[in-house]
């Protein structure tokens, strides 16, 4: 997702030959190689522990009576599992620290190796696959994902606090075309890109000048005629082209050739934002690489799969949270006069209205008092927000701080009007002010949580909240939903933006 990943650039031509004696790019792969080695060692440790544990679960103490054959099988499984992680490109440096693709590749590799195990067991009647699948697959996959998450947190912390583990980016493009990319990279250091300079069109500025983009001063390293030289002077490890049309096809090809011997990655901005990698496909047509962007998939198997996950997830969460919801209902009733639940009209999929369940966190008649508080509005755009809203009850303030007031929305998930993850459910008067772009939020069901929930909640400006919702609508996936649900737990505990 764009909240945690750069989706506006795609690999174009990355040379990975040994760096020349100039030293350019010499540090580009050092941190990533070291990081990948650490992750690989951790993965190996997890697999080596999980596979024998699965044998003990499957056979108990009798496993030691099977002789060397069963241990050879276990060793083969360890090797196959590690090979699946390697061939599944889960150690690709380009996916470290951003987006859900890293987790998706790990999960895919795990299911692939156990699918192969099941086939081998069926063909040769080994009689061990069921025990392994029942224990090793879920436990091993979850522990591998957890270890990746911990390593990723460490990597992002290093990038934010010390500026280490970063790729040095030289942007090639005009100020106008580079503005969005530079601003996004500078404001999200956990992506691992440090903008060190920019090469601009000929004659647009002096060689020793600088450009100010979004309040950030970016040094200028020459023009389009000497990008390779600019890479050397800036000690860049990544070249990001944002003005491919200005360079021309021949110059782009020459540039990719020049960068091959420098061990420098080259990425090209296709000019569209908030579009995830799975929807992008580069197709060579008549010798030209054309970027094909698939339409968002809201129907068919994807819709059915998401609905199934929503229903089972809501049932499971309700079973786990029944004590919390009962305690919240008692507290609401004892704290102030009025009903336990508040049912608000919201707009959902395809602009259809529905009644959304919440624990009442305000005094009765709070809707009627909103007009009198208009001058104290701290929201942005069409939203109404107040940090110290006098209509909120004492219990309601606590419920809102930990998002407990939103738990009854699980009933909306069960009846199909909402999803576990999706855009924020808007009020009807908000939707009336939507333009055609913002209205795309209504192409999917609103969610109990979403990118807006894990990225600041009420502290977000209106424009950023809209961008996050649109990014989710354009790129939603099951793995992306899983990442958002995981991040929601941290957001609720931290209480950031909750009022």
Distance CA 197, CA 200 (A): 10
What's the whole-number mean pLDDT along residues 389-414?
89
The DSSP output letter for 225 is G
Angle ∠(47,51,54) on CA atoms, nearest 5 = 140
Q: Residue 288: what pLDDT?
A: 66
Q: Residue 15: what pLDDT?
A: 34
Q: Residue 367: what pLDDT?
A: 67
CATH superfamily of 10-20+163-293: Nitrogenase molybdenum iron protein domain (3.40.50.1980)
Please compute, for residue 9, the number of CA atoms within 13 A of its CA located in the half-sphere on the CB side: 31
The answer on pLDDT for 280 being more than 90 is no
338-387 per-position pLDDT tens digit: 899 998 889 998 889 999 999 998 888 776 666 556 555 555 555 656 66
Q: Residue 320: what pLDDT?
A: 93
More confident call, 67 vs 379 = 67
Q: Residue 123: what pLDDT?
A: 81
247-258 per-position pLDDT tens digit: 777 777 777 887
Q: Residue 341: what pLDDT?
A: 93
Q: Residue 380: what pLDDT?
A: 54
DSSP calls for 237-290: SEEEES-HHHH-HHHHHHHHHHHHTTT-EEEE--S--S--GGGEEEEEETTEEE
Tokens of 435: 């333009």
More confident call, 378 vs 245 = 245
Contacts 24+ apart (CB under 8 A), 254-260: 255/172, 255/227, 255/228, 256/12, 256/13, 256/15, 258/227, 258/228, 259/13, 259/15, 259/228, 259/231, 260/13, 260/15, 260/17
The answer on pLDDT for 318 being more than 90 is yes
Residue 134 neighbours by CB under 8 Å, 6+ apart? 57
What's the whole-number mean pLDDT along residues 152-159?
90
More confident call, 325 vs 222 = 325
Q: Cβ(153)–Cβ(98) under 8 Å? A: no
Q: Residue 2: what pLDDT?
A: 35
Q: Cβ(422)–Cβ(475) under 8 Å? A: no
113-145 per-position pLDDT tens digit: 888 888 877 787 766 667 777 888 899 999 999
The answer on pLDDT for 186 being more than 90 is no
Q: Residue 453: what pLDDT?
A: 78
The H-assigned helical ranges of 299-339 are 300-335
The answer on pLDDT for 3 being more than 60 is no
42: confidence class by pLDDT, cuts 50, 70, 90: very high
The answer on pLDDT for 184 being more than 70 is yes
- List the single range of 61-70, 133-142, 174-183 with lowest mean pLDDT: 61-70
- List the single range of 256-265, 336-345, 384-393 with lowest mean pLDDT: 384-393
What's the whole-number mean pLDDT along residues 160-189?
85
Q: Residue 456: what pLDDT?
A: 67
The answer on pLDDT for 477 being more than 50 is yes
How far is C-alpha 329 from the chain's CA centre?
A: 34
What's the whole-number mean pLDDT along residues 67-87?
85
Q: Residue 417: what pLDDT?
A: 93
Of 489, 435, 444, nearest to 462 (Cα)? Answer: 435
What's the whole-number mean pLDDT along residues 398-422?
92
438-472 per-position pLDDT tens digit: 777 888 899 999 887 787 665 677 777 778 888 88
Helix H or strand E segment including 41: helix 30-59
Q: Dihedrals φ, ψ of 400, to 5°?
A: -70, -35
pTM above the 0.85 mark? Answer: no
Of 483, 384, 454, nearest to 426 (Cα)? Answer: 384
Q: Residue 298: what pLDDT?
A: 63
- Write out the residue limits of the CATH 3.40.50.1980 domain(s) in the chain: 10-20+163-293
Tokens 């490890």 correspond to 237
Distance CA 30, CA 209 (A): 31
In whole numbers, what is the pLDDT of the chain averaged over residues? 79
């Amino acid at each position: 997702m764009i909240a945690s990943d750069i989706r506006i650039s795609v690999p174009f031509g990355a040379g990975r030959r040994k760096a020349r004696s100039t030293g350019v790019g010499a540090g580009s792969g050092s941190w990533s190689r070291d990081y990948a080695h650490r992750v690989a060692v951790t993965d190996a440790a997890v697999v080596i522990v999980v596979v024998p544990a699965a044998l003990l679960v499957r056979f108990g103490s009798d496993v030691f009576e099977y002789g060397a054959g069963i241990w050879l099988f276990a060793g083969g499984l360890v090797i196959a599992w590690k090979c699946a992680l390697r061939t599944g490109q889960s150690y690709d440096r380009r996916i470290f620290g951003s987006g859900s693709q890293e987790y998706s590749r790990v999960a895919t590799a795990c299911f692939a190796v156990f699918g192969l195990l099941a086939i081998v067991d069926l063909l040769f009647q080994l009689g061990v696959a069921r025990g392994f699948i029942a224990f090793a697959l879920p436990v091993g996959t979850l522990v591998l994902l957890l270890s990746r998450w911990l390593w990723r947190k460490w990597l992002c912390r290093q990038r934010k606090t010390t500026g280490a583990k970063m790729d040095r980016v030289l942007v090639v493009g005009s100020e106008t075309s580079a503005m969005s990319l530079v601003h996004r990279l500078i404001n999200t250091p956990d992506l691992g890109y440090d903008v060190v300079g920019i090469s601009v069109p000929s004659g647009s500025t002096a060689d020793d000048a600088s450009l100010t983009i979004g309040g950030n001063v970016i040094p200028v390293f020459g023009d389009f005629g000497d990008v390779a030289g600019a890479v050397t002077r800036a000690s860049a490890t990544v070249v990001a082209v944002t003005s491919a049309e200005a360079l021309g096809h021949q110059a782009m090809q020459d540039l990719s050739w020049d960068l091959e011997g420098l061990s420098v990655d080259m990425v090209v901005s296709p000019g569209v934002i908030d579009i995830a990698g799975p929807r992008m496909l580069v197709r060579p047509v008549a010798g030209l690489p054309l970027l094909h962007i698939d339409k968002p998939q809201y129907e068919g198997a994807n819709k059915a799969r998401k609905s199934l996950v929503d229903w089972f997830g809501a049932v499971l969460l309700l079973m786990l949270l029944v004590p919390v919801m009962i305690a919240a209902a008692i507290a609401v009733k004892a704290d102030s006069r009025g009903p336990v639940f508040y049912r608000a009209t919201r707009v959902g999929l395809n602009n259809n209205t529905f009644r959304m369940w919440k624990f009442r966190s305000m005094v009765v008649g709070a809707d009627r008092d909103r007009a009198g508080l208009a001058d104290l509005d701290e929201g942005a755009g069409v939203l109404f927000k107040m940090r110290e809203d006098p209509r909120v009850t004492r219990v309601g303030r606590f419920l809102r701080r930990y998002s407990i007031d939103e738990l009854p929305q699980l009933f909306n998930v069960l009846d199909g009007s909402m999803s576990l993850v999706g855009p924020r459910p808007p009020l009807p008067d908000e939707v009336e002010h939507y333009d055609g772009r913002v209205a795309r939020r209504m192409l999917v069901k609103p969610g109990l949580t979403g990118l807006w929930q894990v990225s600041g909640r009420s502290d977000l400006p209106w424009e950023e909240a809209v961008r996050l919702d649109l990014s989710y609508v354009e790129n939603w996936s099951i793995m992306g939903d899983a990442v958002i649900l995981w991040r929601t737990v941290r957001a609720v505990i931290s209480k950031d933006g909750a009022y």
